Amino acid sequence: MTRQTTRVRVRRVRTRRRNSSKNLNPWRHVVKAELANFELVKAGSSLRLEIFSNAEKIGELEVGRGALYWYGRKRKKRERVDWSRFADMMDELAYGK
């Protein structure tokens, strides 16, 4: 009788593990790129990146010659970050103050 209860417990544990691994998405972040002009040296040319997490849009990053522009998840207004400010932000993020 103890053998039967042990088998049932083992089966339940195995099914839980299978279900939890099935729901995991191996590609957590997806980035889609759109290049407005092949040469980024011309004015008005930019690289636009749409960033998704688990099929939900996080935001949009537009990379141009003069600055970066960030559009939030459902925002219509963009945030402008020039290259020197961006470099300072990345240095602080990577190396601290």
Pairing of the two strands 67-71 and 47-53: unpaired
* Mean pLDDT across 70-82: 90
Residue 18 lies in a domain: no
CA 93 to chain centre: 17
Residue 37 lies in a domain: yes
Tell me the pLDDT tens digit for each residue of 5-45.
444 444 444 444 444 455 555 668 899 998 876 665 666 67
What single letter denotes the amino acid at residue 66? G
Rounded CA separation 49/8 (Å): 50
Tell me the pLDDT tens digit for each residue of 82-93.
999 999 999 999
Does pLDDT of 73 surpass 70? Answer: yes
pLDDT confidence of residue 2 = 47
What is the strand order of the sheet 56-63 is part of?
A: 29-35, 47-53, 56-63, 67-71, 78-82
Q: Which of 68-72's residues contact partners 24+ apart within 8 Å by CB, and which partners?
A: none
Tokens encoding 88: 């300072």
pLDDT confidence of residue 36 = 73
Residue 71 lies in a domain: yes
Residue 50: which domain range? 27-95
Q: What is the mean pLDDT of the chain?
A: 77
Give the H or E element holding residue 62. Answer: strand 56-63
Domain count, the chain: 1
